[in-house]
């Protein structure tokens, strides 16, 4: 059974669809007091959606892919008009070409978009467009203009609105307290919003060092959408409609900007190769990569060999995989993704000593690589060495203080050591970073009731429990 996020994401594809309404039917964007949510209200909506993201099976958990997207997104945000805005990027496992944004800087990108983009600048152009919608607070303004009375209702309105655009009957059943269907047409994005997001996106691309011509090029890719989506245009084309005026506006702006030749990062190629290697059966992926290599049909040869290696690991074809890793070592610059794959090979072979050696050596070269840290910690847990897992995680945790998976790993390690207080404490912190305050309090309460902690540990747990309960109390209070 799919999670609520499945429904939400399907509807999010329609978030930016505009309707042909006249100017006097639109919210007055100049009246800031009437049309803008407070940052606190936007954050609350973002947290509600991120809670669904943390629980959803539709969200890709591959840290190498998600870290690439976050790095790209962070680079673009740093070159945008609003550098103080928090953004949250995640990858949706969906073959359609699509991306979406919500108040509070929540941006999701479908794997289909990452595969459908012909260059890194094209992918960046879509992210820049979505960042533009967020920084200009388009949806936030329109939601706030509905004069919703409470933060709880406005967050519910945002989610119900998204549902209603995909399945109105389901939305009315899931959110009976919110009449999203009735306000749907009034909240549709306008042509002007789309043009403004294009304009901001172009500025971000230019400032970030990307090729601004990627945006009109991507428009062309979308219009040829049958290449990627059988029987219909890509989702992004349907939800971000292209008018002739919009295309002409972008083309005219680009003509006034200097030409810049930009080389795609190797991470762009490797991530796409990994997605291709895991998006079909291992046999089909192996056959495709082998054919591409044989016919020299690729934009990056190393990426084809890496993708083939990933597919071979899926099939447990270890001897062939060794040959591909040897090719990469000889013909491509060193990379953390190669090292991770090499260590995973030893894990799959059930060779713990070699796996540990591979992870340790790789982390000396790439000490902050999350995939390697995750893999090494998981390896220690798999071979029943929880103390080593704890030491590793505590040594690296300061690099990613908001990463819930570090706490999930800690909780597992402490459970293996029969350390009840520390296990519940770590699990509580994991839930807190998944925006699930109720479960965080439940776990911290269990930690406080455990009788195996010393005075110092007990004091920390009790203080944190009090803090979490205060947060929950604050959440229950009206914000306006």
Chain mean pLDDT for the chain: 83
Going along the chain from its start, the domains and CATH numbers come out as 4-255 (no CATH), 402-480 (1.25.40)
Instruction: Work out the pLDDT band at 40, boundaries 50, 70, 90.
Output: confident
Instruction: Work out the pLDDT band at 13, boundaries 50, 70, 90.
Output: very low
* Per-residue confidence (pLDDT) for residue 447, from 0 to 100: 98
Instruction: Work out the pLDDT band at 479, boundaries 50, 70, 90.
Output: very low
Q: Give tens-digit pLDDT for 389-446.
A: 999 999 999 999 999 999 999 999 999 999 999 999 999 999 999 999 999 999 999 9
Instruction: Work out the pLDDT band at 4, boundaries 50, 70, 90.
Output: very low
Q: Which is more confident, 49 or 408?
A: 408
Q: Let me know: does 148 contact 154? Beta carbons within 8 Å.
A: yes
Q: Give tens-digit pLDDT for 218-272.
A: 887 776 654 444 445 555 655 566 667 788 889 899 999 988 899 999 999 999 9
Q: Let me know: does 214 contact 119? Beta carbons within 8 Å.
A: yes
Q: Which is more confident, 268 or 82?
A: 268
* Per-residue confidence (pLDDT) for residue 295, from 0 to 100: 98
* Per-residue confidence (pLDDT) for residue 147, from 0 to 100: 52
Q: Which is more confident, 101 or 436?
A: 436
Q: Which of 100-109, 382-391, 422-431 has the lowest mean pLDDT?
A: 100-109
* Per-residue confidence (pLDDT) for residue 83, from 0 to 100: 81
* Per-residue confidence (pLDDT) for residue 239, from 0 to 100: 55
């Amino acid at each position: 059974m799919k999670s609520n996020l499945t429904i939400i994401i399907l509807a999010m594809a329609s978030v930016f669809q505009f309707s042909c309404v006249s100017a006097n039917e639109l919210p007055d964007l100049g009246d800031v007091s009437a049309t803008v949510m407070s940052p606190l209200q936007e954050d609350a909506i973002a947290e509600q959606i991120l809670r669904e993201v943390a629980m959803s099976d539709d969200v890709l958990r591959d840290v190498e892919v998600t870290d690439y997207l976050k790095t790209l997104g962070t680079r673009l945000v740093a070159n945008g008009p609003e550098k103080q805005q928090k953004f949250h990027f995640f990858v949706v496992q969906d073959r359609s070409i699509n991306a979406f944004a919500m108040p509070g800087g929540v941006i999701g990108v479908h794997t289909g978009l990452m595969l459908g983009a012909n260059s890194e600048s094209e992918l960046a152009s879509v992210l820049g467009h979505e960042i533009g919608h967020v920084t200009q607070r388009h949806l936030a303004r329109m939601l706030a203009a509905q004069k919703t009375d409470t933060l709880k209702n406005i967050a519910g309105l945002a989610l119900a609105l998204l549902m209603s655009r995909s399945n109105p009957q389901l939305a009315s059943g899931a959110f009976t307290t919110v009449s999203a269907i009735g306000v749907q047409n009034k909240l549709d994005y306008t042509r002007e919003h789309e043009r403004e997001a294009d304009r901001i996106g172009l500025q971000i691309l230019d400032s970030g060092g990307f090729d601004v011509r990627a945006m009109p090029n991507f428009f062309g890719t979308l219009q040829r959408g049958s290449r990627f989506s059988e029987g219909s245009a890509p989702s992004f084309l349907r939800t971000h409609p292209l008018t002739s005026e919009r295309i002409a506006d972008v083309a005219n702006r680009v003509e006034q900007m200097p030409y810049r030749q930009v080389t795609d990062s190797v991470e762009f190629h490797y991530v796409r190769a990994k997605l291709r290697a895991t998006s079909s059966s291992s046999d089909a992926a192996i056959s495709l990569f082998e054919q591409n290599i044989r016919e020299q049909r690729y934009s990056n040869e190393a990426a084809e060999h890496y993708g083939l290696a990933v597919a071979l690991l899926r099939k447990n074809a270890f001897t062939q995989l060794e040959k591909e890793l040897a090719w990469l070592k000889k013909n491509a610059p060193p990379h953390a993704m190669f090292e991770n794959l090499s260590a995973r090979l030893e894990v799959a072979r059930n060779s713990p000593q070699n796996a540990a050696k591979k992870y340790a050596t790789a982390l000396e070269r790439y000490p902050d690589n999350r995939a390697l840290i995750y893999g090494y910690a998981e390896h220690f847990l798999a071979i029943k060495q929880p103390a080593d897992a704890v030491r590793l995680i505590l040594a690296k945790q300061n690099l990613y203080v908001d990463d819930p998976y570090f706490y999930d790993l800690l909780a597992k390690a402490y459970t293996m050591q029969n350390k009840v207080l520390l296990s519940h404490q770590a699990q509580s912190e994991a839930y807190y970073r998944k925006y699930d305050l109720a479960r965080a309090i439940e776990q911290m309460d269990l930690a406080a009731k455990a009788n195996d902690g010393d005075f110092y540990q007990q004091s920390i747990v009790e203080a944190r429990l009090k803090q979490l309960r205060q947060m929950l109390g604050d959440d229950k209070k009206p914000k306006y």
